[in-house]
Structure formats: structure tokens, C-alpha cells
Amino acid sequence: MEIIPTTPRWNLERPFLTGDFHQVTKNPNLTAGPKPFLLESFGRNCDNVIGSYPVSVQELLIIDDLLSALVGIEGRYIAIRSARENDGHVVCQSDPSMDLALQELIQRLFPLCEDYVLISWFIEVKSHSGNGLVNHAFAAALRALLLDYQAMVAQLEHQFRLGRLSVQGLWFFCQPMMGALRSLSIVIKKASVNNFSGSATLNLLHSQAKAMAGDNAVCVLLEKMTQSASSPYLSILERWVYEGVIDDPYDEFFIAENKSLEKESLTSDYHAKYWQQRYSLKDVIPSFLANAAGMILTTGKYLNVMRECGHTVQVPQSESSKMMSFGSNHSYLECVRAAYDFASGELLKLIQEKYCLIGKLKCMKRYFLLDQGDFLVHFMDIAKEELSKRTEEISIEKLQSLLELALRSSAAAADPCHEELACCVERISFLKKLSVLKDLEGSFPSGEIVSASDSGNQPGSVNITGLETFCLSYKVQWPLSLVISRKALTKYQLIFQLLFHNRHVESQLCMAWQIHQGFLAYNIMGTSILRSSILCRSMLKFINTFLHYLTFEVLEPNWHLMHNRLQTVKSIDEVIQLHDFFLQKCLKECLLLSPPLVKKVEKLKLICLQYAASIQLFLPSMHTSNADNAADKFAFGSGTSRARKSPRRNRALCPAENHMFSDSITRFEKEFNAELRRLGPILSNGSQTEPYLTHLAQCILGVGSD
């Protein structure tokens, strides 16, 4: 087996071989990295101080030292000291015995020398692999600039060797470079102190270029540096908007990917944040991309959805679509817009055509909003016995088989989507579920999270049955789960539970009404039965009015409005927004977001159910006067035409029966009318701010006045 050679020791002790990094020594007792510019001496030894020479000689000596200092090398009479450790800041100092006029001149050139050393240090440090692609590109651009600077110094040295360079001339020729290196040193200092990389470095360069707008040469240089530094960044951007892939090894891109969020959570977690947080914007965004950041994020997300579906797609590219640099013409923004339009159109076409989005939404309307409720009537008849049990005693498997039987026996049999329906029974009642719901937009606790202290606060919460907690579920596949998520499905289930329970109350009141009709057919007349018949009619009118409001004044108009708008959408985000708005508006207008109104309506329905149960139990048992009462009783309960064909008999209730029945009817009548009177003002007051309550208030008040 071949042995891999070890790294030489000098590579660890002397990582930098340019500038004055070679002067740094490493203490073997310290584990810290090399410390640049820890100079051991102030200057080189010399026999005489510079002040001992004539001024003309001093000028020649100091020019020679200045040419060395301009490239970061100490001279005999100019020393370069490290101001602070590990940050590249140095201070140039001259021999104090020098002529004062010369000292004044060379002091003007020292900032240029210090800036060069700082830039050289930045290039060496930021060229390491861990500093990011933007810093690498910026360092490469700085290195190219320093090559030009070093060529200028070499030309000045040539002039000096020819005897044509004075200190004044040196100052004159260095003027153009001083402003440029000073601006770059300011950028480097800020970037080093804050440890900038990626977007932060680009923003720093961009802001400095704007700040130097008055100096055209420096501004152009900074813009060129920004373009060079942004080149790898734009390559990352290009791959994201054209392929939907984040190729960001140093985590510099302004879009973050959370791989812990999976698309499967959309169908199982009410709080799923896959679409919002799988890909999200970071806090620091390049200023020249800030206005298009949302569009860039969305473009890549659309391409990712198509890739997750196994649909390979790539935005068409041409030479003009290459985002190699940014500039005042904003051509890169046009490329982003073109990529967004393509990705948006392709994804919308894929979901609408291949995955039949509109068809799935119609299925949700058909089964959850009871657009075609014939299957539900059949299901309620055959599953009544099972649904009447307590929730823990109900067999979900049996309910599922009964639901499939009802679906196959109705118009839904021709719909293949009915196979995705499933039964579920909540652990708490519908009213309890709404009572723990504080903010439907913010959080929606699961049915199992209920405090024991609240278990008896709501009517009918002690021994709830499947009739109060039954609802449907639906299996939604990716990518339709982006639109019909677990959160959206929960809203559909809330509306379904409201409609289902109202249908159950209506069914029970209809049975009570049939019993009354049986007694009227037998001419068993009395004031109490007449009052009961009138009360039953009022209750039926209330339930029918409420159901009519829910279906024809809330669900149908809002559905058609959403359906029409879906024909003109241009992106999947618009589809999600329209669908969420439709569900939220339906919940609001179905009173589910108004706890006081829901409690009043549920109280009225509870009174109706108690009344219907009393009528079904009490009235048939009172008619037992002759041998054929069993057949008569069957006729009363079934409401068939058999009672109408039987000979009429005149019979009145005995005083004891009449008194007991009258008291019961009076109690139900008082409770029902009292709750109606309380509900009416709440609806009337609410209609001032919520116009959708106006018609419902008129209908409810009309029931109370009957």
C-alpha cells in the first residue's frame, strides 16, 4: 500500500511566503496560528543616522527606502511596525533625524505603503479555502490590481536609477493610486473586522462604490471589484434560477435550504412549513438583487417541485441569458424574469393537466361541502347505529365499509376520486374542537390536546357519540398537497362536520314531524300536540334556514368566485392564495370563527335534538288503547301512508298524559324561543360590521316571530 507523504513542517510554520510574512516565527509552545507582522526590530542597522548626511543625499536615501516601503519592505531609515496582531494593520515610521521638509513629504506617502501591506495581507488570508467564493474572487481581483501597482513602482524605480525621480515626483506619480488603495483599504478593514463573506462583502463593495461616486476613477474601480467579486455569486444564482439547484459550498447564497423539512409533512402536519421554509431568504441579501429576491426564490422553488415530481425541466438558456456580471442595464434582472415566467408556467401546466387540480378541488367540494349529498343520506341511514355509539366504541373499519357501500350506491360510484375518501372520528366534540381554537391562522391544536378542566364546559361533551365527531379524510398526493395541505384539509373537515351535524338534526326533526303527522291522521287531537307540531315546524324551519344559508349563500357563491379566478392564475402561489382565501372566507361566513355565534347555534341544535328524542320516545308510547296499537305505533314512527288509510278515530289524551306532555312542550318551547331571542340581537349587531350576517339575521328573526 502506497504511503501518502506528510505535509512538510515549513508549510505549517511559514504558510505565507510573500510580503513580510516570512518574518513571522511560530512559538512551538503555542497552538495558535501564525501571527503576521510581529516584527522583531524597528529597522536595519546602519553606521550613521540619516540626519548626518546633506539634504540632497538624504533625499536619495529616502527615495530608495520609499520604493521598498511601497511594496511592503522595510528600508534602512523607514520601519514598518505591526499596529495590531492578526489584522494586517501596520504603521510606517521614519528616522527622526531626517530633514523636516523631507519628513513632511514622505509622511504623505506612508498611508499608501500601509494600504498596500493591508491589501497584501487580505489577499493572503482570504485566499484560503474557508473564506468563501466571493472573498476568493475579490482577493483575485485585488491581486490583479496589485500587479499593476507593482509595475508602477518598478517604473518609478527605473526612473530613480536614471536619476530622474525626486520625492516631489514620487508624490506626484503616486497620487492616482492613493485614492484607489485608500478606498479599498476601508472596505478591507470593515470586511476583516466583521468577518464578512458572500452577500455582506458584495453589499460592502456596492455601498462603497456609491459613497465614492464623486471620484469617477475610484468609483469605476470599486464597481469593477464588485463585478469581479460577484462573478461566482452570479454563477450560484444562475444555477438556482435555471435548474433549481443550490450549489453553495460555503453557505454564501442568500437563499437557505432546510433539508429537515420534507414534502410528506404537508399531508400529516397542520403546522407544516414546507412551502414557506424549505427554501427561505436569509437576512443579508445583495443590494443589487434585493428587489428581485422574492422572484428568484420562487423560481427555484417551482423548479424544485417539478424535479420532486420526476418531471425534468430546465429553463432554456442562450448567450444573452448568461448572468456573468451586473450593471446599470439590469440585464440579469431580465434573465431572472424570463426564468420565473417559464418555471411558473411549466409548474402550473403540470399541476393543472397531469395532476388535474380543478378536478381534485371539485372532489373536495362534492364530498366535504356536500355538493352532491345523496351518498351522505344513504350513509347516515345505514351507519346510524354505529355512529350512535360512544367514540371509543366505534369501529372505524365498519364505518369505512359502510361509507364505501354508500358511495357505490350513489352517483359518486362513477367518480374514481371517491376511493381516496376515508372515515375518521375525532376524540372531542365539534364544539370542543372550536373552543380550544384560538387563532385558525396561527395554530390549530390537535383533537387530543384538551385540558381536563374544560371537559365539562360545553354541552354534550361528557358522552359524545360519532354523530358529533364523525368527519371525512382525503388522501392528497404530491404536488397537490401544496394546495390541499393538512391545514386546508382541516378547514374542509370543520365545514363538513358542521354540515353533517346539521343534516343529522334535520333528520331527527323530520322523524318527529312524521310522528306528529301520524297522530293527526288518527285524529288524536289536543292543544299540547298542536303546540308540539308548531314547535317542531319552527325548529325545522330554523335548521333548514341555517342549512340554506350555509350552502347557497356561503359555500356556492364563494366556490364559483374561486373557480372563476383560478382560470386566470399565472402561478401556483396564486392558486394557494386563492384556495386559502376561499376556505378562510367560508369558515368566517359559516360562523366558525365567531365562538359566541357557534355556541348559540350549537345550543339551539342541542335543544332540537333533545326535543326530537323526547317526541320519538314519548308520543308513540301514549297510544296503547287497543289491540292493534302495535301496528298503529309502527305507522306513527314510520310516517307511511298506512296510517292515512286506516279509519279515523277520535281520541283525546287522558288528563295526566296531557299535563305531562304539555309541561315538556312548554319547557322546550321556552328554551328554544329564548335562545332564538338571544341569537337574533347578536346577528343584528354583527351585521353592521359583517354584511354576510344581515340575511341570516332576518331569517333567524323570522323563525322567532312565527
With a cut of 90, say whether residue 153 has pLDDT above it: yes
Which pLDDT score is estimated for 457? 43
pLDDT in tens, 642-656: 434 444 444 455 566
Which pLDDT score is estimated for 414? 79
Mean pLDDT of 406-420: 81
Mean pLDDT of 506-533: 74
Q: Hey, what's the torsion of the CAs at 593, 599, 604, 605, to 10 degrees?
A: 70
β-pair partners for 279: 257
With a cut of 90, say whether residue 158 has pLDDT above it: yes
Which pLDDT score is estimated for 626? 35
With a cut of 70, say whether residue 691 has pLDDT above it: yes
Which pLDDT score is estimated for 703? 53
Lowest mean pLDDT among 233-237, 380-384, 479-483, 685-689: 685-689
Q: Which of 289, 302, 328 is nearest to 240 (CA)?
A: 302
Which alpha helices (H) appear in 16-132, and where do they start and end?
55-69, 100-126
Which alpha helices (H) appear in 437-485, and where do they start and end?
466-469
Which pLDDT score is estimated for 444? 39
pLDDT in tens, 75-125: 889 988 887 666 678 889 898 999 999 999 999 999 999 999 999 999 988
User: Which of 558-565's residues contact partners 24+ apart within 8 Å by CB, and which partners?
Assistant: 558/582, 558/585, 558/586, 558/589, 559/365, 559/369, 563/358, 563/361
* Amino acid at residue number 240: W
- H or E segment to which residue 641 belongs: none
Peptide bond into 557 cis (omega under 30): no
Mean pLDDT of 568-593: 91
With a cut of 90, say whether residue 462 has pLDDT above it: no
pLDDT in tens, 219-271: 999 999 999 999 999 899 988 998 888 999 999 999 999 888 888 787 777 77
pLDDT > 70 fraction of the chain, expressed in percent and rounded: 78
Evaluate whether the domain defined by 356-440+465-484 bears CATH number 1.10.10.10.
no
With cut-offs at 50, 70 and 90, classify the pLDDT of residue 513: confident
Q: Which of 660, 665, 388, 670 is nearest to 508 (CA)?
A: 388
Which pLDDT score is estimated for 443? 38
Three cell numbers written together for 642: 298506512
With a cut of 50, say whether residue 336 has pLDDT above it: yes
Three cell numbers written together for 543: 335548521
β-pair partners for 466: none
* Amino acid at residue number 629: N
With cut-offs at 50, 70 and 90, classify the pLDDT of residue 395: confident
**Better-scored residue on pLDDT, 129 or 14:** 129
Q: Is the separation of the CB atoms in 125 and 131 below 8 Å? A: yes
With a cut of 90, say whether residue 432 has pLDDT above it: no
With cut-offs at 50, 70 and 90, classify the pLDDT of residue 672: confident
Q: Which of 276, 55, 64 is nearest to 161 (CA)?
A: 64
Which pLDDT score is estimated for 495? 92
Which pLDDT score is estimated for 461? 45
Which pLDDT score is estimated for 331? 74
Q: What is the pTM of this model?
A: 0.76
With a cut of 90, say whether residue 145 has pLDDT above it: yes
Q: What is the rounded CA–CA span in Å between residue 346 and residue 633?
A: 66
With a cut of 80, say whether residue 668 has pLDDT above it: yes
Q: Is the separation of the CB atoms in 472 and 423 below 8 Å? A: yes
3-class DSSP state of 255: strand
Chain mean pLDDT for the chain: 80
Q: What is the rounded CA–CA span in Å between residue 696 and residue 692?
A: 7
In the chain, where the domains are located: 16-22+47-195, 231-354, 356-440+465-484, 485-623+655-705
User: Which of 252-266, 370-384, 555-569 shows the highest mean pLDDT?
Assistant: 555-569
With cut-offs at 50, 70 and 90, classify the pLDDT of residue 295: very high
Among all chains, which residue has been given the C-alpha cell 403546522? 271
With cut-offs at 50, 70 and 90, classify the pLDDT of residue 581: very high
With cut-offs at 50, 70 and 90, classify the pLDDT of residue 151: very high
Lowest mean pLDDT among 471-475, 648-652, 663-667: 648-652
CA atoms within 13 A on the CB side of 129: 1
pLDDT in tens, 16-64: 555 555 454 444 443 444 333 333 343 444 557 888 899 999 999 999 9
Q: Which of 540, 529, 535, 572 is nearest to 670 (CA)?
A: 535
Q: What is the rounded CA–CA span in Å between residue 226 and residue 264?
A: 42
Mean pLDDT of 672-680: 84
**Better-scored residue on pLDDT, 657 or 26:** 657
Which pLDDT score is estimated for 637? 42
Kindly write down the DSSP assignment for every residue of 533-560, as one continuous string. Answer: HHHHHHHHHHHHHHHHIIIIIIIHHHHH
With cut-offs at 50, 70 and 90, classify the pLDDT of residue 68: very high
Look at phi and psi of residue 165 and say left if phi exceeds 0, alpha if psi is from -120 to 50, else beta: beta
**What value, to the nearest 5°, has the Cα angle with vertex 133 and ends 132 and 137?**
125
pLDDT > 90 fraction of the chain, expressed in percent and rounded: 29
Q: Other C-beta atoms within 10 Å of 400: how many?
A: 14
Three cell numbers written together for 202: 458584495
With a cut of 60, say whether residue 449 has pLDDT above it: no
User: Which of 325-334, 340-349, 452-461, 685-694 shows the highest mean pLDDT?
Assistant: 340-349
With a cut of 90, say whether residue 611 has pLDDT above it: no
